[in-house]
Amino acid sequence: MSQIDSAWGAGPSERYEALADHFRPVFARIAEGAVQRELERELAFEPIKWLKEAGFGAVRLPVEAGGLGASLPELANLLIELSEADSNVTQALRVHFGVVEDILNTKDAARRERWFKRIAAGETTGSAWTEAGNASIEAFGTRLTEKGGELTVTGAKYYTTGSLYADWIDLGVTGPQGEELSVFVRTDAPGVKIVDDWDGFGQILSVSGTTTFTDVPVAREEVVDDKDRFKYSAAFYQLYHLATIAGIGRAITRDVARAVGARNRTYTHANGPRSSQDPQVLAVVGRARGAAYSAGAIALKAAESLQRAFDARLTGNDEAEEHANAIAELETAQAQTVVTSLVLDSATSLFDALGASATRKPLGLDRHWRNARTLSSHNPRIYKDRIVGDFAVNGTLPPYQWRIGQPAAEPARQAAE
């Protein structure tokens, strides 16, 4: 059934339905096992494999490079549909699609050709940027060193989302001269150890735990200066969360509608013999659907700003590109609070349409709130609200990059104590 017939609205392009129809059988297959995987902590190796086989990871690549040439709004809509099936799977591929975006933007022709081949072949990339504990916000403790003409990387990362499923890892490091660099290493390289120790209450299958690197060899061509990464990365990664959360909104609507339709029990003080005929219950379902519709529409509108940022790089006008990047960051920021609030509210109110039995673990209905809450905690929305307000009042543009860690003085103070 098309998006229009499902009342989710038209897709972002005339060809979107044909594009989505290529992947919808895989999405449906993923959805079938989503609750079981969540309940049993069954890692999503098979769903990731199915998506690789379908060419999903290459959907943004040009057709001549083995992809489908999807626009950013088309990608966002596909991510919404995948997230309705299982948001864990979407989240596990977040950095992969960021790397694809980076390769599409690179001016290094050899790097672009090398990575186009890998992506078209189904290879994916996971994340290794954040360092937990008392890591500094100023520089990574994970370091790239050179000895005897050979480069190696050593350190530890947390929140290494998707790396256990991936072929490559995008790794943030401090270089030999203290510079900020990215390196790419294979997940099966000697010295790489990936552990599924993510203990968050949501996105439990995104394998966002620890990865350690011990004298891992690094090829020189896989070292990239951070200044050369794609410029709208902050907005892109936020858009990715928005699309994922919007998809959770659709999943909430699907699950509560099915549960209400199948429910035979009612209350003496209800408004009908069945929940499916109770106007108050139907109103709860309707509000959830309206929230999901709105969240999706907002995410797709924000995706248009990302497409403009992507296109701006082709103009050769640095000022225009910088402006488009800043506006994209603002549009995704001002969308965040609304989208997350809509879906988090629905994830709670869905239980108002059902009975106490809806809280039983085998149903897995709690996963929607847990997953949406976890995703919305990555980039605190209170700061996004402030940034948007500062722009509205003072015309202040948003910061280029988000980092997390202790201020430089904090470790020194702790050492003194």
Q: For 218-252, write each residue's pLDDT tens digit.
A: 999 999 999 899 999 999 999 999 999 999 999 99
CA atoms within 13 A on the CB side of 74: 20
Find residue 136's DSSP bridge partners. 406
Tell me if residue 228 falls in helix, strand or coil.
helix
3-state secondary structure of 225: strand
Query: For residue 238, what is the enclosing H or E element?
Result: helix 233-262
Query: CA-to-CA distance for 58 and 65, rounded, in angstroms?
Result: 9
Please check whether the two domains, 16-124 and 127-228, share a CATH topology. Answer: no
Indicate whether 415 pLDDT > 60.
Answer: no
pLDDT band per the 50, 70, 90 thresholds, residue 268:
confident
Tokens describing residue 128: 């290794």
Q: Examine the pLDDT at 417 and tell me if it is beyond 80.
A: no
CA–CA separation, 42 and 416 (whole Å): 45
Specify whether the CB–CB gap between 72 and 306 falls below 8 A.
yes
Is a pLDDT exceeding 50 seen at residue 323?
A: yes
pLDDT of residue 416: 45
The CATH code of domain 127-228 reads 2.40.110.10
Q: Is the pLDDT of residue 192 over 70?
A: yes
Residue type, 75: L
Length of the chain: 417
- Domain 233-394: which topology? Butyryl-CoA Dehydrogenase, subunit A; domain 3 (1.20.140)
Which amino acid is located at 295 in the chain? A
- Asked whether 370 and 206 are in contact (CB, 8 A), the reply is no
Q: If you write DSSP's letter for every residue of 83-114 in order, what string do you get?
A: HHHHHHHHHHTHHHHHHHHHHHH-S-HHHHHH
- Rounded to whole angstroms, how far apart are CA atoms 361 and 264? 20
3-state secondary structure 319-373: HHHHHHHHHHHHHHHHHHHHHHHHHHHHHHHHHHHCCHHHHCHHHCCCHHHHHHH
- Overall average pLDDT of the 325-347 stretch: 97
| CATH of the structural domain 16-124, one choice from 1.10.540.10, 2.60.120.10, 3.40.50.1970, 3.40.50.300 | 1.10.540.10
Under the banding of pLDDT at 50, 70 and 90, the label for residue 412 is very low
155 phi-psi bin (left φ>0, alpha ψ -120 to 50, beta other): left
CA 359 from chain centre, in angstroms, equals 27
Which is higher by pLDDT, 379 or 299?
299
Q: pTM of the predicted model, to two decimals? A: 0.95
Which amino acid is present at 343? V
Q: What is the mean pLDDT of residues 3-29?
A: 97
User: How large is the C-alpha radius of gyration of the chain?
Assistant: 22
Q: What is the pLDDT of residues 42-59, one digit of tens each?
A: 999 999 999 999 999 999
**Taking the domains of the chain in order of start, what are their residue ranges?**
16-124, 127-228, 233-394
Q: Which of 90-94, 285-289, 298-302, 399-403 has the least mean pLDDT?
A: 399-403
pLDDT at 402 over 90: no
Check whether 333 has a pLDDT greater than 70.
yes
Mean pLDDT of the chain: 94
Q: State mean pLDDT over 385-397.
A: 96
Q: Give the residue from 203, 196, 192 showing the smallest Cα distance to 169.
A: 192
> Percentage of the chain surpassing pLDDT 90?
86
